[in-house]
Structure 1
Amino acid sequence: MQKHTKPQNFQSFDSIIANWPDNTAEHQRARLLQAMRLCAGITTLEATRYLDVIDPRARVVELRKEGYRIITSWVCQPSECGRLHNVGLYTLAANATDIGMGAKTKPMRESGSSQLVLALWH
């Protein structure tokens, strides 16, 4: 498990929310993407606390379905109570970090990635 250094500049989170102010799933996904690019990754706690994304895991699943290659690793962060929790840290795959907001990468199953892909039933 790696240690995640939380972003020093919380103004960047305010800027992200200002760019994507609505609370739609589309704007929540856009906020997550922008944070992954600006902060080199974002945890589930940070996304909930600072980006107003109530369930970041669902938005990450949707982004992956859209073709973004997002890597999940585990980090230890304190909750509001001060207790440490293992939480997901979401980062864009190396070749996806320089793409524009509307651009997408190849889906994971075509990329040769060794990350586990689970089938989701509707």
Structure 2
Amino acid sequence: MKKATIPEEKRSLSQGNSNTTTNAQNARLAERVKQGSVDTFTIMRDLNICRPGARICDLRNAGYKIITNRITMTDEWGRIHRGVAVYTLIAEPDAKVAA
């Protein structure tokens, strides 16, 4: 039986931020919060994550210590948004030590 192959032009769509599986979103977000604080709008726009709060919850459940601060932001269209979440990583999950 011949294995189906995905053409090169379509394969590139599955890489980067196009993968919307929960695991892929969590991996992107974990890497991003390691770089510094990040707000909800940036997560949605740059990481292609529609529900940032849900993914932050996943990371917290996985052992990441993340705090949330609320700020007022103006979006790219000049609209003011109050209570926008800004997430800051405090600590990563404890590393497992082989015995």
TM-score, normalised to structure 1, is 0.58
Gaps of 5+ in 2: 1-14
2:41 aligns to what SS in structure 1? helix
Give 2:85's aligned residue: 88
Structure possessing the higher radius of gyration over alpha carbons: 2
Gaps of 5+ in 1: 1-16, 97-103, 107-122
Is residue 65 of structure 1 aligned with residue 71 of structure 2? no
- Contact 1:64–1:70 at 8 Å: present in 2 too? yes
Q: 1:33 aligns with which of 24, 30, 35?
A: 30
Aligned-pair RMSD on alpha carbons?
2.0
Give 2:6's aligned residue: none
TM-score, normalised to structure 2, is 0.70
Q: Distance in 1 between matches of 2:88 and 2:94?
A: 14
- Contact 1:21–1:27 at 8 Å: present in 2 too? no
- CA gap of 1:67–1:91, structure 2 versus 1, over 3 A, is same
Identity of aligned residues (%): 32
Normalized per residue, the structure richer in strand is 2
Q: Distance in 2 between matches of 1:63 and 1:55?
A: 13
Alignment of 1:14-25 (within 5 A): 18=16, 21-25=18-22
Letter in 2 for 1:77: M
- 1:55 Cα offset (Å): 0.4
- Contact 2:18–2:48 at 8 Å: present in 1 too? no
Is residue 53 of structure 1 aligned with residue 52 of structure 2? no
The number of aligned residues is: 80
- Contact 1:47–1:56 at 8 Å: present in 2 too? yes
Give 1:78's aligned residue: 74
Q: Distance in 1 between matches of 2:43 and 2:94?
A: 22
The list of structure 1 runs, each at least 4 consecutive aligned residues, that deviate by more than 2 angstroms after superposition, is none
